[in-house]
């Protein structure tokens, strides 16, 4: 985990919020951290462990559904990603909504 940017208090924060990450294969953790970096989130930032934790809790399909849901409200994909970079919980809070297919499209 240290090789993916988790040291000291960041590792503690991550494991407290998502203890199931300990069960993840190292390759899965690496994929998650690479995806988070591609979103423009610096591994040195305070939100980095939270974003990795949030991303670990959803599939790519769920991620796309959440973005599509915001688009129905007139947001662009970049608007959603910019908001996610500032407040990562914005997409996690839609967990229940994305399970209801009638809300999308």
pLDDT for 68-91, tens place per residue? 989 988 999 999 999 988 888 888
Helix axes 77-86, 60-71, angle to 10 degrees: 110
pTM, two decimals, is 0.70
Domain count, the chain: 2
Domain ends where: 18, 41, 57? 57
Q: Which domain holds residue 41?
A: 1-57
Asked if 83 and 48 sit in the same domain, the reply is no
Q: How confident is the model at residue 1 (pLDDT cuts 50, 70, 90)?
A: low
Residue 92 has pLDDT above 60, yes or no: yes
Asked if 43 and 83 sit in the same domain, the reply is no
pLDDT for 24-75, tens place per residue? 787 888 888 899 999 998 888 888 888 888 888 888 898 898 899 899 889 9
pLDDT at 82: 93
């Amino acid at each position: 985990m240290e090789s993916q940017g988790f040291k000291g208090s960041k590792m503690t924060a991550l494991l407290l919020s998502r203890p199931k990450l300990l069960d993840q294969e190292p390759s899965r953790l690496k994929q998650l951290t690479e995806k988070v970096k591609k979103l423009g989130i610096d591994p040195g930032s305070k939100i980095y462990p939270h974003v990795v934790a949030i991303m670990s809790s959803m599939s790519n399909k769920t991620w796309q559904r959440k973005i599509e849901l915001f688009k129905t409200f007139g947001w662009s994909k970049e608007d959603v990603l910019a908001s996610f970079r500032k407040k990562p919980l914005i997409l996690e809070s839609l967990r229940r909504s994305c399970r209801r297919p009638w809300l999308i499209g």
